[in-house]
Amino acid sequence: MKLGIITGTLLLAAAVATQASEPLLPPSEPNQVAGTWRMVSATLENDGTTEHPYGENPQGMLVFTADMHFVEVLTNGDTERFESNTRGGGTDEENSRAMASSIGFFGSYTIDEQGRFTGNYVEGSTFPNWVGSERSSRELQLRVEGDRMYETFTRPDGGRVSAEFVRVR
127 lies in some domain:
yes
Give mean pLDDT, residues 67-79.
96
> Which secondary structure element, helix H or strand E, spans residue 14, and what is its range?
helix 2-21
Q: pLDDT grade, residue 29 (50/70/90)?
A: confident
Half-sphere exposure of residue 29: CA atoms within 13 angstroms, side-chain side: 9
> How many domains does the chain divide into?
1
141 lies in some domain:
yes
Instruction: Note the pTM of the prediction, 2 decimals.
Output: 0.79
100 lies in some domain:
yes
Residue-level pLDDT at 25: 46
The yes-or-no verdict on residue 113 having pLDDT over 80 is yes
155 lies in some domain:
yes
129 lies in some domain:
yes
Domain extent for 77:
30-167
Who has greater pLDDT, 90 or 7?
90
80 lies in some domain:
yes
23 lies in some domain:
no
3 lies in some domain:
no
Q: Residue 74's domain is classified under what CATH number? A: 2.40.128.280
